[in-house]
Chains A and B, each alone.
Chain A
Amino acid sequence: MWEFWVRSLNASTIFTVAALGEIIGQRAGILNVGVEGVMLFGATISFMVAKTTGSYLLGFLAGIAVGALIGLLHAFFSITLGGDQVVNGMGIWILGFGLTAYIGYPFTGPLGLPRIPTIAGLSPFFIFSVLLAVLMWFFLFKTNMGLKLRSVGENPSVAEVSGINVARTRYLSVIFSGMLMGLAGSIYALDYNPVWNYNFLMGWGFIALALVFFAMWNPLILLGGSILFGVLWQVSLNPEALLPNVFSRYIWRTFPFVITIAVLVMMSTRWFSSRWGAAKPEALGLPYEKD
């Protein structure tokens, strides 16, 4: 049983880090629906670097760096060129999906390095992700800089007038957001499941995206949501522990996705949004042009 909970928490780590990245971008008003693509880049590049050099550190750094680069690309498309952020995010996702399938293919297979040490099976990244969530919450809601960042996502024109550089704030947020998504991919590929296969994330990035709505853009609620989904994921992989012989193992695999849809629907009902819905950044997804 311990094994099951530990695997669940380790899985939740990846959801948390990726979704924290998405939260900071969305809080600044930039929607990135291509989380999965950035994660695939982070995972693949970090895996390639770690396997070639034999160094975990270089692997993680490369994953974060490529995440920053893709974040920069999304920022350029969405802020400087002012395009439709959904289209841009889709572009990032399909670029990640297609290109990593090609460049990673020669690296198919296990990583072949000694596993990253754990605390009785618990990945050190879990602790890191909890700290990160708390720090992010503190930053967003208790610091002056966090307030500025949120104001850019709520009402950029007013923020601009009050002396905040909207474009620069958004650029920095989106780049940092890409770094976290790249890191989330790296944690998956180097720690959680160090075996490369094409398109191996199988929807984790999209679940992370859904978790942001679920968490109402709040890092602490997110932490709870991630752990819930980590558990769901483990149940879907090892249903025997919970309900043996009810469904085939393939049906169990649909479990987290079905729950994601159910949760999203619940979140978008009028009953829910009239009580809790005010959290959505007002200017999310809207291009902003300085007059």
Chain B
Amino acid sequence: MKLAGYTLKFEKKENFTGVEAAVISVLAILFALFLVGIIFLQAGVDPAMGYYEIFSYAFLNPFGLPLTINRAIFLLLCTCAFIVPMRAGLWNIGMAGQLYLGALSAFAVAFAFGARSDAELPAGVVLPLMVLGSAVGGAAAGAIPGLLKGKFNTNEIVVTMMLNFIMFWLVSHMIKEGGPFMGSGGEGEGYRLPASLQPQPNLGVPFTFWFAIGLTVLLHVLFAKTRIGYQIRAFGLNPAAARYAGVSPFKISLLVFILGGLIAGLAGYHYFGTVPGLFKIPKNYGDFGDLAFYGIICGLISQGNPLAAIPLAFLFGGLTSGGRFVQGKLQLGFGIDYAMLGVLMIILVAFQFFFRYRIVLKKDKER
């Protein structure tokens, strides 16, 4: 393309630096938020005011901030669940199903200890087992696509998506219409954990916060320092070459999906088991499955870097909690957080281009 004596060219690039990646990502987010601003305008809301309301509710408001933190932990776990298979070149879009099964398993543990009666339970024993249960449940849901991918090379996108629906209905079966986990109100909700199994937030954050941060750091170490992390990355970059180097595709597929599912399972326990006011599988549990798709966005923006996912999880935790709030306050239509999800995703996809090409502006030679 020629512009006023300059030539604009796209040149293919083989790699990009961390700074370049960060700049492209920030630009993509800003551009997407600009487009969502147009949605605000179209709904008759001043975008500047809309964003001011969103961010001030999400990060400054005493009611909004805990909500943001809880969502951020949830998103961070979902992002890590997406990132681990992504580093091996595989798509885990089954975070929703994995977190449903994780939550069901955690509640099954409590159920086995008799949590439906209001008995005093030994929290020191039951809570760790619930956390463990959610991890095992999530890992089991993750093991299915991992096993099928590793053994039969079955398309993991379709399998994880199918499992999302299967687990969605399984939760309904358990909590609705006489299901074993049905709450006493009979309103299609799960039973509520007894007071002894309701961990209270410490310094405003639930204990799962430290879990999530710890896991993120561990993942970073796994990828950066360990042999298996190196094998995962090698497999993701070039499966054929990795196979010649002795990396087993079966082992890698199974491992990354079990690990991803395990982390997503914890996200299920985190939201339904530790957030004050919930402590049950709510009627609208499907909303949290939808929220888990933000994990794909965080994962793509962070380019698979777990540490970069931490600030992103807070940003999107805030945007979604604030988005829900302004919806009511400014009388926007339902689902501004869903619209944001869609716009962010497609802009990110468009901006992938800049990871592969650089724009070169050259002054034409004087003739």
Chain A interface residues toward B at CB < 8 A: 33, 73, 77, 81-84, 86-88, 90-92, 94-99, 101-103, 105-106, 198-199, 202-203, 206, 209-210, 213, 248, 250-251, 253-254, 257-258, 260-261, 264-265, 267-270
Closest 5 CB pairs of A and B: A98-B342, A91-B349, A102-B339, A250-B173, A101-B338
User: Per-position contact with A for B143-181: 1 when CB-CB < 8 Å, else 0?
Assistant: 010001000111101110111111001101100110100
By the criterion CB–CB under 8 Å, are A99 and B343 in contact? yes
Q: Which residues of A have CB within 8 Å of B339?
A: 98-99, 101-103
The prevalent SS among residues of B at the interface is helix
Given the interface pairs A87-B352, A106-B333, the reply to whether A248 lies near B293 with Cβ below 8 Å is no
Cross-chain contact A258 with B166 (CB below 8 angstroms): yes
19 A-B contacts, Cβ less than 8 Å apart? A73-B346, A81-B350, A86-B157, A87-B349, A94-B297, A94-B342, A97-B290, A97-B342, A98-B338, A101-B338, A102-B334, A198-B335, A213-B158, A250-B172, A251-B169, A251-B170, A260-B158, A261-B154, A265-B152
Q: B353 near A: Cβ within 8 Å?
A: yes
Report B312-356 CB contacts with A as 1/0, cut-off 8 Å.
Answer: 000000000000000000000111101111110110111011001
Complex CA distance for A86 and B164, rounded to whole angstroms: 19
Q: In whole angstroms, what is the CA distance A199 to B342 when docked?
A: 13
**With A87-B352, A101-B339 in contact, is A260–B162 under 8 Å at CB?**
yes
Count of chain B residues with Cβ under 8 Å from any Cβ of A? 48
Q: Which residues of B contact A (CB under 8 A)?
A: 39, 91, 93, 144, 148, 152-155, 157-159, 161-166, 169-170, 172-173, 176-177, 179, 290, 293, 296-297, 300, 333-336, 338-343, 345-346, 348-350, 352-353, 356
A-B contact count (CB 8 A): 146
Inter-chain contact A206/B161, CB cutoff 8 Å: yes
C-alpha spacing A82/B164, complex, angstroms: 30
In the complex, the answer to whether A91 meets B340 with C-beta atoms within 8 Å is no
- Please state if A213 and B352 are interface contacts (CB–CB under 8 Å): no
Q: A87-B349, A265-B152, A269-B152 are in contact. Are A105 and B334 (CB under 8 A)?
A: yes
Q: How far is the CB of B63 from chain A (nearest CB, A)?
A: 24
The residues of B that contact A257 with a CB separation of less than 8 Å are: 162-163, 165-166
Determine whether the beta carbon of B342 is less than 8 Å from that of A33.
no
